Amino acid sequence: MIVQQTIQDKLKQRFKAEFLTVENESHNHSVPANSETHFKVTIVCEEFEGLRLIMRHRLINDLLSEELAGPVHALAMHTYTPTQWAEKNHISPDSAKCLGGGKG
């Protein structure tokens, strides 16, 4: 869980998140057991207020550029302001099912 912890630590240090989860979803994909290649991040913070979705994602992509250039194959990001998170009833959407490599 080194990659997952690194992602979580970087996000915690950079953002004052009201809510943050980093989920390793690698087991849903055609990768070896215990892989750390596919992640889902849900983050809620005031800093996202007034930022378009693309800008929120760019902030995270820039922060995690090393991980995205290396071990991370896919990163699903759900970025919300506190108001948006409340409107979603504090529920992040499920990730799509993997359709490749014999899974699906």
Q: How would DSSP label each residue in 15-47?
A: ---SEEEEEE-GGGSSS-TT---EEEEEEE-GG
Instruction: Give the per-residue pLDDT at 35.
Output: 72
| Alpha-carbon span 27 to 11, nearest angstrom | 22
**Cα distances (Å, whole numbers) of residue 91 to 21, 32, 33, 74, 80:** 11, 29, 28, 21, 11
Instruction: Give the per-residue pLDDT at 61.
Output: 97
Domains, the chain, ordered by start: 2-87 (3.30.300.90)
CA 57 to chain centre: 10
| Alpha-carbon span 27 to 15, nearest angstrom | 28
pTM: 0.88
Instruction: Give the per-residue pLDDT at 97.
Output: 73
DSSP state of 81: -
| pLDDT by 10s per residue, the chain, length 104 | 699 999 999 999 999 999 999 998 877 777 767 678 789 999 999 999 999 999 999 999 999 999 999 999 889 999 999 999 999 999 999 887 775 654 44
Instruction: Give the per-residue pLDDT at 36.
Output: 83
